[in-house]
Amino acid sequence: MNLYAIGAIYRFEMARTFRTLAESILAPVLTTSLYFVVFGAAIGGRMGEIEGVSYGAFIIPGLVMLSLLTESVSNASFGIYLPKWSGTIYELLSAPISTLEIVIGYVGAAATKSTMLGVLILITARFFVPYEIQHPGWMLAFLLLTAISFSLFGFIIGIWADSFQKLQVIPLMVVTPLTFLGGSFYSIHMLPPVWQKIALFNPVVYLVSGFRWSFYGISDVNPLLSAVAIFGFLALCLVGIAWIFRTGYKLKA
C-alpha cells in the first residue's frame, strides 16, 4: 500500500477545501441553520410531538442526512472531475499508484469533509433545539458509512460526467428529491397506507430511519435493515468503481 501517494491526494483535496472554507463548510452550515429556524423554531413550535419527540428535534437527523448525502456526492464528484477536465488524470493513471489507492485518497477526503460538516451541523443544532443521542456508537457508524458510500457514488458521477453541468444533474434531480421524500421532515407512518408502501422503495428512507433510530430509538423501518441497505449500496458502488477502472470507462480518451 502506497501510503505516501494516498496521503498526497488526501492532503491536496483537503487543502482545496480549506482554501474555499466559506463555500465548502460555512455555506452548508448556514443553510441548514435556516432550516432549523424555519422548521424547528417557527413551524415546530406549532406542531405536536412525533412519536414522543418534539418536531424540532425530530428533523435533526433528516437535516444532517440531507447535507451529508448532497455534500458527499458533490465533494467526491468534483474532486475526481477536476483532474479529468484539466487532463492531469492521465498523469495520475500512469503514476505508480493502484486503483485502490486513488479511490482511498479521493473518497477519503470527500468523506472527511462531509463528516466534518455533519458534526458541525449537530453542534449548530444545539443552539436551536435540545436533542439526545441514545446510541452514539451507531450514530457515528451510520454517519461514517453514509459519508463513505455516497462519496463513492459521487466518485462514479465525477467519472461519468463530461461537463460541470452534468455534475449537478444527479445531486439536484435524484439525491435531493429522494432525501426530501425519504422522511427527513416527517415519519412515513404519517402517510396514507399506499404511500407508506411506495416510500419503502426509496433507499434514502432506510438511511434517514436508521440514523434517526440512533438518536431517539424510533424508526420507520428496522434499524438492521437500514444497516444492510447502507452496506449493500457501499458494495454496489465498489463494484461500479472496479468495473470503471477495469474497462477504462470515461477514462481512456
CA 241 to chain centre: 18
In this prediction, residue 24 carries a pLDDT of 66
Instruction: Write out residues in the chain with pLDDT < 70, as ranges.
Output: 21-24, 40-46, 252-253
Answer whether residue 253 is part of any domain. no
CB atoms within 10 A of CB 22: 8
Distance CA 218, CA 188 (A): 12
Answer whether residue 252 is part of any domain. no
One-letter amino acid at 66 equals L
Distance CA 124, CA 103 (A): 31
**Residue 92 belongs to domain spanning:** 3-247
Answer whether residue 229 is part of any domain. yes
In this prediction, residue 217 carries a pLDDT of 93
Answer whether residue 209 is part of any domain. yes
Q: What is the pLDDT of residues 132-183, one digit of tens each?
A: 899 999 999 999 999 999 999 999 999 998 888 888 888 888 888 888 888 8
Answer whether residue 7 is part of any domain. yes
Answer whether residue 207 is part of any domain. yes
**Number of domains within the chain:** 1
SS3 per residue for 102-164:
HHHHHHHHHHHHHHHHHHHHHHHHCCCCCCCCCCHHHHHHHHHHHHHHHHHHHHHHHHHCCCH
Answer whether residue 59 is part of any domain. yes
